[in-house]
Structure 1
């Protein structure tokens, strides 16, 4: 209760401060010069192709389950069971002694494989189609436009949005950070304490202590949670129907189909959440390794 009240007070102070800043002539001129949209190449494609909509769904589906299972791995004191990989199998590379891990970690790693595969496909398509130009900063004016966008958002007088054609500077940097910084950090830190880590690579293990990986992995997870919350909030409060159609139907229209598909996707995620219980995952895990108590 105290934390909630403190957050409300801080948020109110930020809004009032930003509104006061916008009364200053210099700030008004700054926002007029930098409207919040950084320059992007003239050849940058517009719109959202069908594959991007599917990638968006798969990524949301997987990241929700990955965060859930990651928190289970971190907090559970008595796992419902343990899993040991078969020797020289996918989860236990040649040269490693099969490791015994909780069922939660097995599920977490299995989901990670799908998430990484989805990410590779996404990055390949991103560069093959030129859509990388929409989420990679290509001009130094991204920095003043980020400041301008932050002031506009904080004052609740938000910058004009047309994500179908051009993301604003804050969106560009957020998407770039998520795809090209946060995701690789999650992979590089997670693999350090996974069953894939080469146990005989003594020099590599010494150069990359597991404590370093743990110090990175959890904060990166918190970043994904914060990004998701802010992303969903802005999707709904900056034109929900148009934004959801962009993401889920690849159309620049305002109707209800995007919302309908989004709601169906939530049902699918909720069903998957339910099916990640040990009674459902244990038989699958048993096909890839040994189950024990």
Structure 2
């Protein structure tokens, strides 16, 4: 038994779920291809190919700070999602953490989740600052209203499995730009604002503030925001590998527009490090680290 079902039952559910996903994907692709045959749609796709020239000139390529920031973001996000799910579903925490300088006692997993959040926010702040200082902000910030019809065009092309033109080394297509903008400037701030409200750092006795911004509201936003990040990561990784894996991985991991295995091996090394950290994030190994700034106890 695994939970409430046997292994065979889980396997059957998995197979049925996979078949359902494949069937749904097939229907969506056929429907999208049907849309492209409707009157006016071919002209629309020709007028809006899926990308537009940015209003601000941006140097091609990805500087080293962007590549390292991208890796740290992925690494921290994976651990944040894991620790967040542990906090959400834990019945009895395996250990507790109490700050040395006084403060609320929390579970070891909540301590991990909060600590990772702080590192993630620092990494994000560095990224945003360097993004605007370097001028690379025009890559992910729309500079024309044409972004919307081009994004619709790119989405339709993706759904037909006839990928829009990819020039990621120089310019993102409009749909990519809107998604990256949403991740950086909408979803990330939402995750931070709601996370702070649910953390032990929020003042419990601020009655008026708590009435204006109640914890249930923060919870109702925080978890869907996490699901959005998971959905984005899955789709992002799928498209990276399905639209030219070696070149795409070289862009963000090797800083090159060539087609070679260099970026893949950097990606594989980062993935191994992330998996090892995922496995290592357990009380036995967390306790000595948490003990530097507080006291870890069984109750």
Scaled to the shorter chain, the TM-score interval is over 0.9
Deviation at 1:8, TM superposition (A): 2.6
Name which of structure 1's ranges 36-45 and 254-263 shifts more when overlaid on structure 2. 36-45
Deviations 1:126-163 (A, max 9, x none): 00001110101111111111111111000011111010
Deviation at 1:13, TM superposition (A): 1.2
Whether the aligned pair in 1 keeps the contact of 2:80 and 2:117 (CA below 8 Å) is: yes
Deviation at 1:24, TM superposition (A): 2.8
- Using the alignment, how far apart are the partners of 2:182 and 2:212 within structure 1? 26
Q: What secondary structure is seen at the aligned counterpart in 2 of 1:159?
A: coil
Deviation at 1:223, TM superposition (A): 0.5
Is the counterpart of residue 254 in structure 1 residue 259 in structure 2? yes
Is the counterpart of residue 289 in structure 1 residue 294 in structure 2? yes
Show the 5 A alignment for 1:1-293: 1=13, 2-87=16-101, 98-293=103-298
Deviation at 1:3, TM superposition (A): 4.0
Deviation at 1:23, TM superposition (A): 2.2
The alignment's TM-score, normalised by the length of structure 2, stands at: 0.92
Name which of structure 1's ranges 253-262 and 8-17 shifts more when overlaid on structure 2. 8-17
Q: Specify every segment of 5 or more residues in structure 2 that has no aligned partner in the other structure, as ranges.
A: 1-12
Q: What secondary structure is seen at the aligned counterpart in 1 of 2:40?
A: helix
**CA RMSD of the aligned region, Å?**
1.2
Deviations 1:203-229 (A, max 9, x none): 211110000100010000001100000
The alignment's TM-score, normalised by the length of structure 1, stands at: 0.94
Q: What secondary structure is seen at the aligned counterpart in 2 of 1:83?
A: strand
Q: What secondary structure is seen at the aligned counterpart in 1 of 2:61?
A: coil
Deviations 1:103-135 (A, max 9, x none): 000000111111011001000000000111010
Whether the aligned pair in 2 keeps the contact of 1:69 and 1:108 (CA below 8 Å) is: yes
Deviations 1:217-252 (A, max 9, x none): 000000110000000000001011110010011111
Deviation at 1:45, TM superposition (A): 2.6
- Using the alignment, how far apart are the partners of 1:40 and 1:147 within structure 2? 17
Whether the aligned pair in 2 keeps the contact of 1:48 and 1:164 (CA below 8 Å) is: yes
Whether the aligned pair in 2 keeps the contact of 1:39 and 1:141 (CA below 8 Å) is: no
Deviation at 1:196, TM superposition (A): 1.1
Deviation at 1:25, TM superposition (A): 4.2
Deviation at 1:86, TM superposition (A): 2.7
- Using the alignment, how far apart are the partners of 1:31 and 1:205 within structure 2? 49
Q: Specify every segment of 5 or more residues in structure 1 that has no aligned partner in the other structure, as ranges.
A: 89-97
Whether the aligned pair in 2 keeps the contact of 1:245 and 1:253 (CA below 8 Å) is: yes
